[in-house]
Structure 1
Amino acid sequence: MLSFEEKLAVIEEFDELEKKEISLGRVNFHFEESLYDKKIVVYRLHPNGNGFVYGGEIDEVETDAKGMVNIKDYEADELRELIRASIDSLSLSPAEKDPVMEEWLNDADQALVLIREDDGFNVYADESLEGTFNTYQEAADFLNQEGFSRA
């Protein structure tokens, strides 16, 4: 297990993080360029070596209910990798993380394109917007109801 000082040294390698001292000798590190409301990447790093890294936008890690990963037993390379993944996950929009661009056809060979943009899904006929939906399933249901299927 890394000491507080060793963890602090690893975390301070990330120039994009801003250190914020909080109570009882603990520190947080903020990522002010986050595209999300979440800005704290390292949370409550304690002098005893315990602390958390935000992993709520990372598919490959197990998190608690708040999206945090306990880093008490992390080694330096593991900690670097987790922090980099956390920063990267807060730097990409949902459309960049999980892009969708699908062509849907009907029996008359007319085509519509389903694209994930920003926080939603848009359906286009050529350059004309046909519909905007909150979820992929809503967009797919619309396309199916209109007689289209994925090409």
Structure 2
Amino acid sequence: MLTFEEKLNIIESFPQLVRKDVSLNRVNFHFPESQFEKKIVVYHLHPNGNGFVYAAGLPGYEVDNKGLVNIREFSAPALILLLEDAIKSLSTVETVETLEETWVNDNQFELTLLNEDLDTWLVYAGDLLDGAFNSYKEAANYLEEEGFRRK
């Protein structure tokens, strides 16, 4: 098990992280450049060697309900890899390719279903916006209820 000082040295070697001292001699490290609301990468690193790193969504780590993994027993290489992975995951926003589908009704009138970002689905009648939805399923249900089917 690494000591508090060894863990601190490893974490402080990441220039992207900003140290924030908190209560009971614990230390947090923030990642101000995070592309998400989540900014704390290292949470409550304690002089007894206990501490947590945010690893939600990272494969191979057992996380708690807050997305944190306990680093008490981590080796130096394992801690470095975890920090690299955590910073990388908070640095990039997943993008989706623009999805465009044409839907048609029995009268051969066409509507376009377009996804321009992760959580907005738009229905267009030509250049006019007909509706905006939070999911593909919601948009597709609307189109089907209006008598349209995928072309």
Pairwise same-fold verdict (TM > 0.5): yes
Cα distance in 2 for residues equivalent to 1:28 and 1:137: 40
Structure 2 Cα separation of the partners of residues 71 and 12 of structure 1: 15
Matched, 1:85 2:85: yes
Q: For structure 1, which runs of at least 5 residues remain unmatched after alignment? A: none
Matched, 1:101 2:112: no
Q: Which residue of 2 aligns with 1:25?
A: 25
CA separation in 2, counterparts of 1:92 and 1:127? 32
Instruction: Please tell me the residue identity of whatever aligns with 2:122.
Output: V
Aligned to 1:8: 8
State the percentage of identical aligned residues: 44
TM-score of the superposed pair, with normalisation by structure 1: 0.75
Shift in Å, 1:124: 5.3
The alignment of Structure 1 onto Structure 2 pairs a total of residues equal to 145
Task: Specify the SS of the correspondent of 2:96.
Answer: coil
> What is the aligned partner in structure 2 of residue 120 from structure 1?
119
Listed one character per residue, the Cα deviations across residues 53-92 of structure 1 (whole Å, up to 9, x for unaligned) are 1123x24243211121111122223222222222233233
Q: Partner of 2:142 in structure 1? A: 142
Q: C-alpha distance in 1, partners of 2:109/2:13? A: 55
CA distance in 1, matches of 2:7, 2:22: 17
Contact 2:31-2:40 within 8 A present in 1 as well? yes
Give 1:111 deviation, angstroms.
6.2
The answer to whether the 8 A contact 1:122-1:130 is kept is no
Note the aligned Cα RMSD (angstroms): 2.7
Shift of 1:143: 4.1
Where does residue 73 of structure 2 map in the other structure? 73
3-state SS of the aligned residue for 1:84? Answer: helix
Change (3 A) 1:131 1:3: farther
Letter in structure 2 aligned against 1:62: E
Q: Which has the larger radius of gyration?
A: 2
- In structure 2, how many angstroms separate the alpha carbons of the residues matched to 1:40 and 1:34? 9
In structure 2, the CA distance between the partners of 1:124 and 1:139, relative to structure 1 (3 Å rule), is closer
TM normalised by structure 2 equals 0.75
Give me the whole-angstrom Cα distance separating, in 1, the residues matched to 2:84 and 2:130. 38
State the SS of the aligned residue for 1:64.
Answer: coil
The offset of 1:44, in angstroms, is 0.4
3-state SS of 2:140 partner: helix
